[in-house]
Amino acid sequence: MKRNRGGLFRGSRRFLAIARVLTKFGLADLNARWFSRNAKEDDAPPAGGAGTTLRIPSPARLRAALQELGPSFIKLGQLMSTRADVFPPEYIEAFRKLQDSVPPFSFEQARQLVEKELKQPLARVFTDFDPQPLGAASVAQVHRARLHSGEEVAVKIIRPGIERIIQEDIRLMYYFAAKLEKMFDVARLLGAVNLVREFERTIFRELDMYIEAGSIEKFQGYFKDSDEIHIPDIHWDYTTRSILVMEHVAGVKMDDVAGIVAYGIEPREIAMIGLRSFSRQLMEFGYFHADPHPANTIVMPDGRVGLVDFGITGYIDDEMMRQIAHLFLGYAEHDYDMVMEALENAGLVDARTVDLEAFRGDLKDISEPFYGRALQTIAVREVYDQVIGLVLKHHIRMPRNLLLLFKTFVQAEALGKILNSDANILEVTRPYAENLVKKGYDTHKLLKNIGRETRTMGQYMRRVPHYVNEILRQASRGDYQLEFRHRGFENFDRKMERGINRLTVGAIISASTIAAALILNSDKSVMEFKLDILGLGSHSLSVTALLGIAGYSIATILGIWLIFSIFRSGKL
């Protein structure tokens, strides 16, 4: 099957186009391995051979190659820009510069797609529809339009045929990633196939406008009482899986300092709004806008900041939110014990795999120089490089959402710097972190968590009988083999025999004592005879009396022996 699929790829136009681009940007040796007809697909290169090394092009050349390969590979590069725990800083910086600079598709294609999705002519929905897009990206473009109600809207349209192209490219990516992992150790270490799998999981979310519309509505609920942040309204009647119609947010981009000043607004205040908004998303909602670059962050004439384009969002759960709050407070108070505890509780560092003392020392070394400094005095690139260097040095693998959060944090800081902000990011975030920590100890919150855990336990208990029945049923069919092993029973038979012997002796002692007492207390005698004892005269003695005395003697001797043996064993 693999061989046939590889042959199918080799004959495809897209496959050959990728080969040309790779050759153009300095990966001819890789092409020779991938496209050689004589190479056996199932043969791995010999250990230590030439095939185990890969001459990787420079960051700039690799970025240019991804850019030329088109929308799917541009998006893959943008995903790789969030994986700073995998790629070196210079490549992360190059991937971050990848732009969705692709030509827009025609107005005629846009019109046909909108009419097909809405099942009615364009003029019946919009009184005006600008044929020139406001912006065009690799997966969608946006047009300004006006509804019959008079409201100005932005219409986001998925690029025609892009889903089919991405599906084909993902199949090629899997093929290439598997080959890379087979041929090169570095590809296995980086997890090439897992990277493609992660890309597949995220890219199709961007192609579904219902998901983005749901994210926008969720943010509307979060900021419904805010007089600083504006989230556009969604027109659900005209929104489909391929089209999103939402309120058009008028204003200037957040990095347009001259435009902001022309509105009579202080740029530094806009920076503070952005930092407070990010702090709330991080410390209150656990759900954040993960692509706050200038084109997606609009300063409105009334001083509010509008957030648009929610194609990329991230989330963190309640426990992670609390640990991040402790992390910020630890930094704000120079308390590295709190910082380390938060990192351990969040599962980011583990004493079994990380030298915690060395990590703590390195963390303190890179953190101390930045304390108390305003954004203008901090080089964001320097902070980013040092933190990622620490992650790579100690082989820490971070969850994607935390890396996305870190990337968002860097973008938010960069915007603040553009706006000439003198804010201290730790001081801005501190009150939100303190409030979150207090909430963690709130009685209502604790009871809510206990209730949730109790319900979860109840669900598990209800499923146990089904799971047990399923296991036994499969075992009866021979699907499973149950094997029981016991330990600590090596001397069990000898110990058991000794215990039984002691019980037997005890029973004999008891029986002898009882029998002797009954015989000696009996008024009947058997075979009585005279006996001269030591010349003191003759005395009457019976056989029954001799048996009673013998029984007492045996019981006494056995009792003394049993007690002595028990004491000697030390197990009284």
- Confidence check: pLDDT of 488 > 60: no
**216: confidence class by pLDDT, cuts 50, 70, 90:** very high
Closest CA to 515 of 503, 504, 507: 507
- Confidence check: pLDDT of 306 > 80: yes
95-119: pLDDT as tens digits: 777 765 678 899 999 999 999 999 9
Regarding beta strands 135-136 and 152-158, do their DSSP bridges make them parallel or antiparallel, or are they unpaired? unpaired
Closest CA to 77 of 95, 64, 59: 95
Q: Environment class of residue 466 by beta-carbon count within 10 Å: exposed (0-12), middle (13-18) or buried (19+)?
A: exposed
- Confidence check: pLDDT of 428 > 80: no
Tell me the C-alpha to C-alpha distance, in Å, between residue 522 and each of 53, 153, 279, 519. Answer: 103, 117, 98, 5
Q: How far apart are CA 20 and CA 27, in angstroms?
A: 10
CA 184 to chain centre: 27
Q: Environment class of residue 263 by beta-carbon count within 10 Å: exposed (0-12), middle (13-18) or buried (19+)?
A: middle
What value does the mean pLDDT take over residues 251-279? 90
Quick one: pLDDT at residue 76? Answer: 81
- Confidence check: pLDDT of 535 > 60: no
Neighbours of 50 (CB within 10 A): 9
What value does the mean pLDDT take over residues 189-203? 79
Quick one: pLDDT at residue 380? Answer: 52
Could you state, in order of their start, the residue ranges of all structural domains in the chain?
2-100+166-203, 106-159+208-248, 253-441, 494-569
> Percent of the chain at pLDDT above 70?
66
Q: DSSP 3-state assignment of 333?
A: coil
Half-sphere exposure in the Cβ direction for 249 (13 Å, CA): 24
Q: DSSP 3-state assignment of 403?
A: helix
**494: confidence class by pLDDT, cuts 50, 70, 90:** low
CATH topology of domain 106-159+208-248: Phosphorylase Kinase; domain 1 (3.30.200)
Low-confidence winner among 32-36, 95-99, 285-289, 525-529 (lowest mean pLDDT)? 32-36
What value does the mean pLDDT take over residues 416-438? 74
Say what the pTM is.
Answer: 0.63
Cβ-contact 15, 181 below 8 angstroms: no
Helix intervals (H) in 159-227: 162-183, 185-190, 192-206, 209-222
Kindly list the catalytic residues.
291
> Percent of the chain at pLDDT above 90?
19
- Confidence check: pLDDT of 86 > 90: no
